[in-house]
């Protein structure tokens, strides 16, 4: 049972480059989300999706795009990387929006130089 799988684990980008963080879950969860984690800041919600074809913004959406073409996949795109986007990114999923257990991926460490 893979759960939530994120790739890549580590990535170094140059300022201005774009990239996509991949996320897939095999639990048939309808709700998926992306968080970023910075020291002393906890996890901040970037974007979330309540089902295929439906996405919405979280607390810190600027500079990121998402799409949800299938139930399983929820990629996060950095449009033009900036040093402020250096962070650890976590993809998460759950069965519903009402606060059920959230399952997290192992994280993607991104450094923008």
Partner 1 sequence: SQQGEEDPQALSIQEGENATMNCSYKTSINNLQWYRQNSGRGLVHLILIRSNEREKHSGRLRVTLDTSKKSSSLLITASRAADTASYFCATNTGGFKTIFGAGTRLFVKA
Stretch that binds partner 1, among 13-21, 50-58, 69-77, 78-86 (CB under 8 A): 50-58
Nearest 10 degrees: CA dihedral of 54, 69, 45, 64? -110
Contact status: 43 vs partner 1 (CB under 8 A): yes
Work out which of 15, 70, 84, 106 binds partner 1, going by CB under 8 A.
Answer: 106
Residue 26 binds partner 1 (CB under 8 A):
no
By the rule CB under 8 A, 101 interacts with partner 1: yes
Q: Which stretch binds partner 1 (CB under 8 A): 17-25, 45-53, 69-77, 78-86?
A: 45-53
| DSSP codes of every residue in 43-107 | EEEEEEEEETTEEEE-S--TTEEE--SSSSB--EEESS--GGG-EEEEEEEES-SSSPPPEE---
Question: Can residue 41 be called a binding residue for partner 1 (CB under 8 A)?
Answer: yes
Question: Applying CB under 8 A, what is the total number of residues that bind partner 1?
Answer: 27
Q: Which of 90, 93, 110, 112 binds partner 1 (CB under 8 A)?
A: 90
- Determine the distance from the C-alpha atom of residue 32 to the mean position of all C-alpha atoms in its chain, rounded to a whole number: 8
């Amino acid at each position: 049972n893979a759960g939530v799988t994120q790739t890549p684990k580590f990535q170094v980008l140059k300022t201005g480059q774009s990239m996509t963080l991949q996320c897939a879950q095999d639990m048939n969860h309808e709700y998926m989300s992306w968080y970023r984690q910075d020291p002393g800041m906890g996890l901040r919600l970037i974007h979330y999706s309540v089902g295929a074809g439906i996405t919405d913004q979280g607390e810190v959406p600027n500079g990121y795009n998402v799409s949800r073409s299938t139930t399983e996949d929820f990629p996060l795109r950095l449009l033009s990387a900036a040093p402020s986007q250096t962070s650890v990114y976590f993809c998460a999923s759950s069965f519903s929006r009402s606060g059920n257990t959230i399952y997290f991926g192992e994280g993607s460490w991104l450094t923008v130089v």
